[in-house]
Amino acid sequence: MLFFTQCFGAVLDLIHLRFQHYKAKRVFSAAGQLVCVVNPTHSLKYAPTRCAVAQTSTEQGSLPPCHHHEAVHDPQLVPCTCPLFSCPWEGHLEVVVSHLRQNHRINILQGAEIVFLATDMHLPAPTDWIIMHSCLGHQFLLVLRKQEKYEGHPQFFATMMLIGTPTQADNFTYRLELNRNQRRLKWEATPRSVLECVDSVISDGDCLVLNTSLAQLFSDNGSLAIGIAITTSKVHNGEAEM
């Protein structure tokens, strides 16, 4: 019996060690900055025209334009904001984060400044690299997408969305920075709300856009490091909304 208990303990230790190794691979600290290794996910339900509806009336309380469900009656409910799947889930904005973590296994990181290290940049389009970022009391969704807007010419699109309303999003500024090979590219903008749909932000090109050759110049061994920083752009006057 003692033998079996010891064996079981050893197996548990191995599982724990494997888990630690897995975590270590995904998040580590370099030069004082938190580096998050993000593996790609092939978009199973990618549809370029998913968000064809014009982005009007996306303030809290009205139906978001990404809505796929015909039978929604509660205007407070929002659909799943995961850009990877056409997920039938819907719920209140406050529980979107836990849905994304539990159902779509999207990691969440803490910290004002982090490095998003996207691996396997060579994988064919469409591919997404996604994490959530918890900062300044809010949660943000960072999406890097490889997509062929022009057939045969994949491009990379990176944007940050607030898991909150457009009014709340106006209070922040996000910065994405690439820095390698004596080149530096910085993109600063107000994050869009997840209610506005990441697909339409990318199809509008209102984000950081990289062609393949530039992505290669900024990549190291097939991985692209994007420095992320979020700041408040004005006094939070929309805090009471959520």
Q: Which residues bind a copy of itself (CB under 8 A)?
A: 149-150, 153, 173, 182-190, 204-206, 209, 211-214, 217, 233
Smallest gap, in angstroms, from Cβ of residue 118 to a copy of itself?
A: 19
CB 170 within 8 A of CB 196: no
CB 136 within 8 A of CB 236: no
Nearer to a copy of itself, 206 or 220 (CB): 206
- For a copy of itself, the closer CB: 217 or 242: 217
Q: Which two tokens stand for residue 225?
A: 């490091």
192 membership: H or E segment, kind and range: strand 192-193
Query: If DSSP codes are grouped into helix, strand and coil, which group holds residue 28?
Result: strand
State which residue, 92 or 184, has the beta carbon closest to a copy of itself. Answer: 184
Beta bridge partners of 138: 135
Shortest distance (Å) from residue 204 CB to a copy of itself: 6
Residue 103 tokens read as 């159902």
Best CA proximity match to 135, nearest among 190, 96, 174, 167:
174
CA–CA separation, 59 vs 170, rounded Å?
A: 12
Closest contact distance (angstroms) between CB of 158 and a copy of itself is: 12
Q: Which is nearer to a copy of itself, 123 or 214 (CB)?
A: 214
Give whichever of 79 and 191 is closer to a copy of itself, judged by the CB atom: 191
Minimum gap (Å) between residue 238 Cβ and a copy of itself: 16
Left, alpha or beta for 198 (phi > 0: left; psi -120 to 50: alpha)? alpha
Q: How far is the CB of 131 from a copy of itself (least distance, A)?
A: 22
Of 18 and 153, the one with the shorter C-beta distance to a copy of itself is 153
On whether the CB atoms of residues 38 and 116 are closer than 8 A, the answer is: yes
d(CA 46, CA 25): 28
| Shortest distance in whole angstroms from residue 229 CB to a copy of itself | 13
Task: Estimate to the nearest angstrom the gap between the alpha carbon of 28 and the chain centroid.
Answer: 18
